[in-house]
Every structure is written in structure tokens, then in C-alpha cells.
Amino acid sequence: MLFEDFGGRDEGAQEAFLSGVARCDVYLGIVADRYGAMTPTGRSATHEEYREAVRLDKRISVWVRDGGANRQGDARDFIDEVRVFHTTGSFANADDLVRRVWARLVEIAADDLAPWVKLGMVVFRADRVTDRGSQVRVEATVRDPAVAEALVALRSDQWRRAEPVAFTDHTTSRRVRVEGVTATSTARSAQGFVLDLAAETQPTSSSAMRMAVNGLDADDVVERGLRHRLLGEPLPAQLDRMGFLTPAVSLDPVHHLPPEVAGSVAQLLLVEGLVGQGHATRVSVRLGPGRRGPRRVRVEWQPHAWGSPAAPRVIEGNLRDGSSTLT
């Protein structure tokens, strides 16, 4: 349903369209030459909607019309802001836009229907995850021989994999024992896998060492540690020689990955490091494409409310160069 059908936007519509963003699953932004009329916030409605979609962690797809010689300065600035964390698509006309958005929706649907998961040190897409609490079944179609080999190596009858490993999806992480790995050759280039996992702990249980240190509470320690490990900021003096208290998270592996894969892998690594270790109940990661300079990263997490409500924490900055050395 288009707002035009109701006679257009009026002064009272600000709240209405932001609530529309809140209800949506996918935000599609389209930008041509005009920025749009300013709202009382000093930004256009489209710009406000985009920011609301970011704030609410919606899936975002923004399209910019080709050309742009007559594009308003505010519209250019808006596009630059979008490109910090998102790859924008281009289009020539309405038909072209529809065709490209269709293709993008197929990709988004594929992400939904084949979610990325991490089992031990293997990151792959699952066709289906059936979670019964203490028992989890993961079904996957694998085309990469190295990944197939790594999954077969998880069989619990091999002595080196008898110990529990972390199983992580985009929101939860828990320790599991791999009880069964069934591989079926479904095609010359693909193998079907069924992985049966026995959960050792519930997804939100805490296993990390959490401690207040010299005026930093446990969540401050987590934040300072993430700033250090992801953004390259120095650890504060209070944490000198106490870095072991900070979450063991590194995004170095994503440096070599294309944007469409890097964001999903970064999410898994942060969920494993924060949710899996009991530092947070929810994590949201945004990773910029980094095509022109360093990758931008934004991590928001909800600390555990150990006794009292805790406000969400956010860090944002340029992702630390993977080749640099932590001190």
C-alpha cells in the first residue's frame, strides 16, 4: 500500500512512517536527484526512515539512480552515509530497478532460508536448523570439498573431536557435542550433510569470567576489550595484564571476505564471543564494505541484566587492520 493512495504525506505523518519502518522486515530505499523536504529533525523523511531502519537493525537495500549530475548535495551526503555500512545498487529506470530489486530479494531470501552457522571452526550455510533445546539438527548442502572434509572431521568417533565445540547462529551460541555426521552425495558437485548435535548448555548461560576491575564494571571491561580487539584502541591502564578478562573476539578472518559474506561471518564471531561467553543476550553487527578505505564496523549488544537493567552498548569505528599486532 502506497502512501500516495491516502493522499500523500502530511505534517502528522512523521510518526506514521517511522512506525511503518518498525513493522517492516526489509527496508528498500531509493534515491535519485532530490533529497526531499526537511522534517523538523533537519533531515528528509527518507533519511529519517533509513536511520530508523539502521537503529532497528532491519535488512536494508538502497538503490541509487544512475547519473546524478543534478543530484542535490544533501542527497549526495545521504548516499555517502549509506555507503559507510551498505553497498548501494544502481538502476537506470523503473523496469531496471524492479529487476534488480527482485534479484536482491532472492539473495535476502536465500540468507533467510539458508542461514550462516558456525560449528567448531567451520562456517557454512545451513539449509535447515531444527532446535529441540537439548538436541539440534543441522542440515546443509555443501559444495566446497574443504568444508565437507572439515565437517566429516567433526565426527565424534574421531578422538580429536570428542570434546564439545561451539555451535553458533546469528543470535545464539552454545556448546554442543557432535553426535552424528551423515554425509550423502546428492550431486557430483554437492554433498548433503545432517549434523546431530547435543547441547551441553542453554544458549544464554554464562561461561565467561566477568569481573569489575579498578573502577571498570564487568560490562566496561567487555566494551574496552572489544574496542581494543576490533578498533585497535589501547587497553586502559586498569586492564594492564588483565586482558584475559576481555572477550576473546577477533574479526581478522573477515578481512579477506567479500562484503556479502563478511557481515554474516562477523555476526557469528561476535555472537560466539559475546552471547556464547555470557557477556550479552543479543548482538548486532554491521560491517561496511570497505571498498574505499578501512572497513567500518558497528557492534551493538545488550549486556546481561545481572540483577539490574543494563543499557545497550555500542562501539563503532574503523575495523583494525588484520595484519597489525595487538599489544
Partner 1 sequence: MWWQVSQSAATVPRSVPRAECSRPVATRAPVGAWVRGHESCEDLSIHGTGAQPTLVIDRMSSARRLADDELRDWAETQGVLFISSVMAELAAERRELATMIEGLGGQAGAV
Between residue 157 and residue 176, which ones bind partner 1 under the rule CB under 8 A? Answer: 160, 163, 166
Give the contact letters, 247-286, x = binds to partner 1 (CB under 8 A), - = no.
-x-x-xx--xxx-xx---x---------------------
Q: Applying CB under 8 A, which of residues 79, 84, 101, 129 lies at the interface with partner 1? A: 101
Least Å from the CB of residue 114 to partner 1: 6
Q: Which is nearer to partner 1, 16 or 314 (CB)?
A: 16
Backbone φ and ψ of 220, nearest 5°: -60, -40
Q: Is 291 in the site for partner 1 (CB under 8 A)?
A: no
Q: Which is nearer to partner 1, 253 or 317 (CB)?
A: 253
Complete edge-to-edge strand list for the sheet that includes strand 313-318: 280-287, 296-303, 313-318
- SS3 for 17-43 is HHHHHHHCCEEEEEECCCCCCECCCCC
Q: Is 36 in the site for partner 1 (CB under 8 A)?
A: yes
Q: Is 82 in the site for partner 1 (CB under 8 A)?
A: no
Angle, helices 45-55/73-85, rounded to nearest 10 degrees: 10
Q: Is 147 in the site for partner 1 (CB under 8 A)?
A: yes
Least Å from the CB of residue 224 to partner 1: 12
Q: Which is nearer to partner 1, 121 or 305 (CB)?
A: 121
Q: Is 237 in the site for partner 1 (CB under 8 A)?
A: no
Q: Is 183 in the site for partner 1 (CB under 8 A)?
A: no
| Contact by Cβ (8 Å): 71, 80 | no
Segment interacting with partner 1, rule: CB under 8 A, options 12-20, 179-187, 215-223, 296-304 = 12-20
| Complete DSSP assignment for 79-113 | HHHHHHH-PPEEESSHHHHHHHHHHHHHHHHHHHH
Q: Is 194 in the site for partner 1 (CB under 8 A)?
A: no
| Contact by Cβ (8 Å): 272, 60 | no
Give the Å distances, CA to CA, from 102 to 90, 94, 95, 99.
13, 12, 11, 5
| Contact by Cβ (8 Å): 301, 279 | yes
By C-alpha distance, which of 314, 142, 110, 286 is closest to 223? 314
Q: Which is nearer to partner 1, 2 or 311 (CB)?
A: 2
Q: Is 84 in the site for partner 1 (CB under 8 A)?
A: no
Q: Applying CB under 8 A, which of residues 43, 49, 203, 279 lies at the interface with partner 1? A: 49
Q: Applying CB under 8 A, which of residues 85, 124, 167, 301 lies at the interface with partner 1? A: 124
Backbone φ and ψ of 142, nearest 5°: -115, 130
Q: Is 144 in the site for partner 1 (CB under 8 A)?
A: yes
Segment interacting with partner 1, rule: CB under 8 A, options 25-33, 79-87, 210-218, 286-294 = 25-33
Q: Applying CB under 8 A, which of residues 195, 197, 230, 235 lies at the interface with partner 1? A: 235
By CB under 8 A, how many residues form the interface with partner 1? 84
**Measured CA angle at 278 (ends 276, 283), to 5 deg:** 65
By C-alpha distance, which of 320, 299, 297 is closest to 233? 320
